[in-house]
Structure 1
Amino acid sequence: MTGDRSESPSPGSIVGFPRDRRIVKTDEFSSVFRLRPVYRTAHFVLYTRLNPLPDAKARLGVVAAKRLAPRAVTRNTVKRVTRELFRLTSLPPVDCIVRLSKPVNTKAGPATTASLKRELRGELIKLFASQVVVSKV
């Protein structure tokens, strides 16, 4: 059965999100947050700055507050979708922080995980596309 979690994936099919592509330290988050937001969508705000490290790669930090996504399932979905789209987008060496800015999965919004993922994916594609356009200019 396709999508069954009990099946183990083949070793070559696992694509991770390595630690050197993540923003993990508090002071790294703070230095990016000090800058103005680059782009906003209905649910997200994107902050960026050039990566100061010598062997620079694009790095990502995701902030999904409990008050904006009360269910852990929703917060994890937001983070998972964000990391996957970031991994698939080729960006210049910048530090990006994607912050959830409005509540998701409310009574007015999508209730199923599939519709939530679809909506979030559309917004995140716009965010990362805006960064690619900004970096080319």
Structure 2
Amino acid sequence: MRLPRERRIRASADFSRLRQNGSRLDCGPFLLNLGPGQSPQVKARFAVVVAKKSIPLAVNRNRAKRLARELFRSDADLLPVGWECVLIARPSILRKSFANLKKIYETAIKSTVK
């Protein structure tokens, strides 16, 4: 299932701003760049980055993206309104169960957004 356009981060300026000004969390199977967005009235936005260098096979990259999008979709209310999140997948994301990934994601979000 696709995220609505208004819930996705697409501009490279947004990625750069989050990388420079946002919080960076190392969660093991993925990295999270989190921070408040430009406009505080917009719902939380999300993006997934899966590098071809870290996960070479397209089948596995697509699976990693699906897992990451489902993490956000299932817990979309964890991020407050106006926040943005970029998830950078690592190869170990494919070896974890979804329940384990969800627990790691929830813990990371709750520790950052208080």
2:37 matched residue in structure 1: 51
C-alpha RMSD of matched pairs (Å):
2.2
Are 2:71 and 2:105, in contact at CA under 8 Å, matched by a contact in 1? no
2:91 matched residue in structure 1: 103
Q: Tell me which amino acid in the other structure corresponds to 2:108.
A: S
Q: 2:8 aligns with which of 15, 18, 22?
A: 22
What is the CA–CA distance in structure 2 between the aligned matches of 1:92 and 1:120, rounded to whole Å?
Answer: 26
What is the CA–CA distance in structure 1 between the aligned matches of 2:41 and 2:69, rounded to whole Å?
Answer: 21
| TM-score (structure 2 length as normaliser) | 0.81
Q: Tell me which amino acid in the other structure corresponds to 2:96.
A: E
Measured at CA, do residues 54 and 61 of structure 1 come closer, stay the same or move farther in structure 2, by a change above 3 Å?
A: same
Are 2:46 and 2:84, in contact at CA under 8 Å, matched by a contact in 1? yes
Higher strand share: 2
2:96 matched residue in structure 1: 119
What is the CA–CA distance in structure 1 between the aligned matches of 2:25 and 2:41, rounded to whole Å?
Answer: 26
Higher helix share: 2
Structure 1: give runs of 5+ residues left out of the alignment. Answer: 1-14, 106-115
Q: Which has the larger radius of gyration?
A: 1
Q: What is the aligned residue count?
A: 110
What is the CA–CA distance in structure 1 between the aligned matches of 2:97 and 2:15, rounded to whole Å?
Answer: 22
Are 2:23 and 2:35, in contact at CA under 8 Å, matched by a contact in 1? no
| TM-score (structure 1 length as normaliser) | 0.69
Structure 2: give runs of 5+ residues left out of the alignment. Answer: none
What is the CA–CA distance in structure 1 between the aligned matches of 2:102 and 2:10, rounded to whole Å?
Answer: 20
What is the CA–CA distance in structure 1 between the aligned matches of 2:40 and 2:28, rounded to whole Å?
Answer: 35
What is the CA–CA distance in structure 2 between the aligned matches of 1:35 and 1:88, rounded to whole Å?
Answer: 26
What is the CA–CA distance in structure 2 between the aligned matches of 1:72 and 1:104, rounded to whole Å?
Answer: 15
Measured at CA, do residues 64 and 124 of structure 1 come closer, stay the same or move farther in structure 2, by a change above 3 Å?
A: farther
Alignment identity in percent? 33
